[in-house]
Amino acid sequence: DVKVTQSSRYLVKRTGEKVFLECVQDMDHENMFWYRQDPGLGLRLIYFSYDVKMKEKGDIPEGYSVSREKKERFSLILESASTNQTSMYLCASSPLGGRAEQFFGPGTRLTVL
């Protein structure tokens, strides 16, 4: 079974802090994704990566950056957390090709105070 893990299930941070969310997948997938999910807004793509050191902006990249130094790991960075970044963050991976199913991690519920 594909396994996608995220570093924390729940996280509480203060405004202005730098926040790192880590995601690791064990199926040698080329593509990795970061989404946020908010009530009424559904899943929104923040960034994705189709190869090591490659990244592409999604629909809502402002206030976020990403890092992919190894194939299995994709990090989401909030440079200076703000209260409007309180959300559920979901990482996903998929094999090569945009038509493939995505496998999700359990999510990180981030609260910024």
Partner 1 sequence: RKEVEQDPGPFNVPEGATVAFNCTYSNSASQSFFWYRQDCRKEPKLLMSVYSSGNEDGRFTAQLNRASQYISLLIRDSKLSDSATYLCVVSGGVYALNFGKGTSLLVTP
Chain residues that interact with partner 1, rule: CB under 8 A:
31, 33, 40-43, 45, 48, 50, 56, 58, 90, 98-107
Our CB check for partner 1 shows the closer of 19 and 29 to be 29
Sign of CA dihedral 47, 36, 4, 74: positive
11 residue type, one letter: L
Query: Residue 44 CB, nearest distance to partner 1 (Å)?
Result: 9
Query: Residue 48 CB, nearest distance to partner 1 (Å)?
Result: 6
Please tell me the distance from the alpha carbon of residue 12 to that of residue 14, in angstroms, as a whole number: 7
Our CB check for partner 1 shows the closer of 34 and 81 to be 34
